[in-house]
Structure 1
Amino acid sequence: LRKYENPHTPPSKRRSGTDGSPTSQDDEDDDVRTDGGTPGRKDGHDPEWRSMADPDEEIEVTCDCCPECGDRFDESVGVSPRLVEEIPDPQPPEITRYNRHYYQCDSCGTETVAAHPDCPDEGQFGVNVIAQSALSRYDHRLPYRKIADRFEQLHGLELSGASAWHATERAARAGRCEYEQIRQEIQDADVVHIDETGIKRDG
């Protein structure tokens, strides 16, 4: 794939070595970018290092004997630490059944169903599924079919595109009250700033 040359790629973006001839870059795959650029910041810019978090677990990696001659080691002469950040394996969904008891008032006859903060008012998906569906749709710009595929790949949760759409609608209804409050604050403001592109004045 690295040597593949797209016929629509301009000459300035084409990589060297696409003719099949061996190059020294074959041994530097980690430093090769597929878009034709070079890794890292441009010359003259200070590097920016990632801040490493504290480890959640420490594992002692030891060796008993020399891999060359087989002689046993007495003790370690030093430690070469390496921090590795990893995401957990796909987590299966947690399924909870809420036995919502309902009651009837003896005085007025009103029926009341008990509520739980973690039990949504409608549907069979929890608040995290609803929130992740909305983020995938409006923050990551994923279509509903790919949102369903993402849930199945990450969590083994079977979700249809229509169900993903219903989840985003529930998120919209849940935030409708706060949305209206923000809109009212904007309408009541003395000055409202807008961002327009390309407004000409006096020609």
Structure 2
Amino acid sequence: MSEIQWEEGHYVLPRKEAVRFRRAVIQAYNERIQWLAKQVTWAVNSVLVSEHMQADSWQDSVLEALRPLQLSAYEMDRLTDYFPYSLGLRGYRPRVPLQKEIPRWTTINRPRISLGSPYYYVGVDSEARILEWQVHANENAVTDAHADWFAQQVFKALYQVQWTRKSGGYCWGGSNTPTTTYCAHHLGPLGDSAPFSAEQ
């Protein structure tokens, strides 16, 4: 049964943990995008060797070659955003991604990083030591967001943080079946002060 779900909140990171957390998130993102680029390269090459491939079926053929990876809807959206020419989405013959086309987060002179999508938003500010998390209200949005590989890496790094006094936080969540608002998850001393931690 589908339901409209949403989730949002933020976490204050300990001073000694903020930079390490940010680096872990950046590394996970960059490694995953490189891996996705390799999968796209393989898919494109497998399509181009077909002697009977028609131009109007390039896009479907490349996406079909990627299907066994069972990528989340979020990652499929990233692929079409990052590699439109490689996937043949602009009416061009598919080609392998160029290194300069592969997006990359960097630790240089960027204290704040963010990843936005129509589904969820992650923001990390290492100067303010804050992680922001928001899942926009939509059908099964929270379930789908937490099933996304990158979101899982963010929370994996978050659960490895060594919390100290005046650090931590919590996220509100909600759904419409029935209409509820609750503390979705909380960590650290500040998380322990969440107004409530169960459905009401």
- The two structures have a TM-score, normalised by structure 2, of 0.21
Structure that is richer in helix per residue: 2
More relative contact order, 1 or 2 (CA 8 Å, 6+ apart): 2
Q: Is the radius of gyration larger for structure 1 or structure 2?
A: 1
Larger % of strand: which? 2
Q: TM-score, normalised by structure 1?
A: 0.21
